[in-house]
Structure 1
Amino acid sequence: MKTNTTLLCFLLALAGPALAQGHGGHEPGVLVAQAKAPTPTRAEVRKVDKSAKKITLRHERIENLDMDGMTMVFQVQDAALLDQVKAGDQVRFTAEQIRGAYTVLTIEPVRP
């Protein structure tokens, strides 16, 4: 019995710091899956709509969103991003899903 108690104390001592940390406002002791960080993805700009703060991109696979390549409309986090690109440009961009909308966070033209 003493061996089991000692082993249990040892295991709790090892796991304690990991279980005691709160994550992003969650209660201590709750393990939370970490979201994938956005990685730059290549795309071609199909359309820029500055008044609606939207951009249409024909993009490759977006890893952090687990999304295959396709053509789709994104919102932009900052309308000033749209001043950097035009239809036909090759770009690298990052995106996340924010409040249910796929949103471009960064975008930059790719120079040939």
Structure 2
Amino acid sequence: MTFRNIVLIGTAALSLAACATEYTRPDTSEAQRKKDLEECQDIAYGKNPGDWTPDGPDYQARNSVGCPSGDCQAKPGQAVHGSPSVDMNRADRERAVLACMESRGYSY
């Protein structure tokens, strides 16, 4: 096996690992996994509610900031007063969901 092949296989493995973003638990239905995830998300949001803080300078941008998923992230040159913001509790909430799901026997 050549060095190039090893690098390609390693890159492919890392890419696949990066895509594995679902919680898994043996002998658990998709419906049960979704129910557990929703419960953990509700618990995590209760402990770490959204704390939206403006991000970036206050000026009108030439390009609008699109937020199709509702998770707006300000980008340099696109901040608009009172519009783009960052959820300061997002990372804590994600850690709380992970801890909750792990406590229920799931792996990530």
Taking structure 2 as the reference length, the TM-score comes to 0.23
Structure with higher helix content: 2
Structure with higher strand content: 1
Larger Rg, first or second structure (1 or 2): 1
Taking structure 1 as the reference length, the TM-score comes to 0.22
